[in-house]
Amino acid sequence: MGYSGARGGLEAILAAEDLVRRARDHAPVAWAADEQIIARFRLVVDRVMGEAGLYDETTAAAAVRQAEGDPLEASHLVRAYRSTLPRLAVAEPVDPDELLIMRRIVPAFREPYGPQLLGRTTDYTGRLLEKPARQPSSSDNEPGAPKPRTDEQKHPRRFLDLLRELDLVVDHRTGEDPEPFDLTRKPARPPAPRSAALAAMARAETGALVALWYRSILGPDGDIHEVTLGEVRHGRLPLRVAHPHTGNPVTVGEFRVTEAEAIEDLDGADEDRTCFDVGYGLCFGHNERKAIAMANLDIANRRFGRQGPLEQLLLLTTDGLDSGGFLEHLKLPHYVTFRSMVERKQAMRAAAAGEGPAPRPTEPAGKECR
């Protein structure tokens, strides 16, 4: 493609950027601090961390503020910043069973192993806009002292364990994909291991992933295929690295994740119809939409990915920075490209009419962009 500079040149570009800064600096209210953005817009911050592939709440909050609340632009800023950071160490593998539960629901079973913890959610309330008459004070709805939790409440057994004990689930722990695919070092192309597809979905744009999942469960007549959600968890996992001198794993911090397991009834001709299949999803922060879509698409990719374009869509089209970046570039000047297209059309008309070469198009006179 051919590009050229914007009319008005560098002066117009700098003036456009200055308009954004002036609007931010002269807003009627002061900028929200990083701590305020993290506390009040936690789901946006978590989404940006997941799509950017960098768990750092302060950096994500600063990006949300700079991007004026645009999650995709904020993810772009964080991922660009991430590319400048040195890779000091590689974290040790972590067992999801170590998850310190903050929220856990099991829609598939009334009394699973361990408790169901609703946690912080509005899933069970009406979607009504609240307009308080006054600003709440610090004394309103002060939480009481939390009750101590048992180890079973902190680390409950999985619902999947129950299905395995009943011999009702297909076991995919074959060991064929021992090392996780590193998308930050090389792009994934089909056919790809399962870890590559899961890594791509973990960094995918949430809306794109949900849309792809929704299309995958719609039948030809718009009927929704039966979907069962096994378990959703939100909690904290430890971050461990190998000690540079002893080589022993050392816990250096923790990070929050959302984990989901989806259940699907096997009914294919070459499938074991006496069992269920289970899909898995895990992403940074509290983003249940993405984790649930991941878990269902994990099953769909395993069952039908090699027979259709699903794997290609997961690996190549769900990254918000790729798709959004290509869309954004359409706003760049394409004067040269479009002029060549106009000339081809005029040449085809002239050739069809038996005339000579068409005159070159001229741009209408106008003011430069300011």
Domain boundaries of the chain, sorted by first residue? 9-82, 96-119+150-318
Rounded-to-integer distance, Cα 294 and Cα 316, Å: 15
Rounded-to-integer distance, Cα 113 and Cα 130, Å: 37
H helix or E strand, kind and range, residue 300 = helix 288-304
pLDDT for position 171: 85
Q: What is the DSSP letter of 224?
A: B
State the helix-helix crossing angle for 206-217 and 288-304, rounded to 10 degrees.
50
For 91-150, give the DSSP string: PPP--GGG-EEEEEE-TT-SS-SS--B--S--TTS-------SSPPPTTTT---PPPP--
Rounded-to-integer distance, Cα 355 and Cα 344, Å: 14
- The encoded tokens of residue 83 equal 């590319």
Q: Name all contacts of 245-252 with Cβ < 8 Å and 24+ positions apart.
A: 249/92
For CA atoms 60, 61, 66, 71, the dihedral sign is positive
Cis preceding-peptide flag for 191 (omega within 30 of 0): yes
Nearest to 66 by CA among 74, 57, 75, 54: 74
Per-residue pLDDT of the chain (370 residues; tens, 9 = 90+): 445 555 667 888 888 888 888 877 776 676 789 999 999 999 999 999 999 999 999 999 999 999 989 999 999 999 999 999 998 889 999 999 999 999 999 998 888 888 889 988 888 888 888 876 656 555 555 556 667 778 878 889 999 999 999 999 988 877 777 788 998 888 888 888 899 999 999 999 999 999 999 988 887 677 677 789 999 999 999 999 999 999 999 999 999 999 999 999 888 778 888 999 999 999 999 999 999 999 999 999 988 766 568 898 999 899 998 888 888 889 888 888 899 999 999 999 999 888 666 566 565 544 444 4
For 163-197, give the DSSP string: HHHTT-B-----SS--SPP-TTTS---SS--HHHH
Q: Name all contacts of 306-310 with Cβ < 8 Å and 24+ positions apart.
A: 306/191, 310/216
Nearest to 155 by CA among 107, 112, 115, 118: 115
- The encoded tokens of residue 223 equal 């009927």
SS3 of residue 354 by DSSP = coil
pLDDT for position 247: 92
Rounded-to-integer distance, Cα 45 and Cα 61, Å: 6
Categorise residue 114: left if φ over 0, alpha if ψ from -120 to 50, beta otherwise: left
pLDDT for position 122: 86
Nearest to 171 by CA among 163, 179, 181: 163
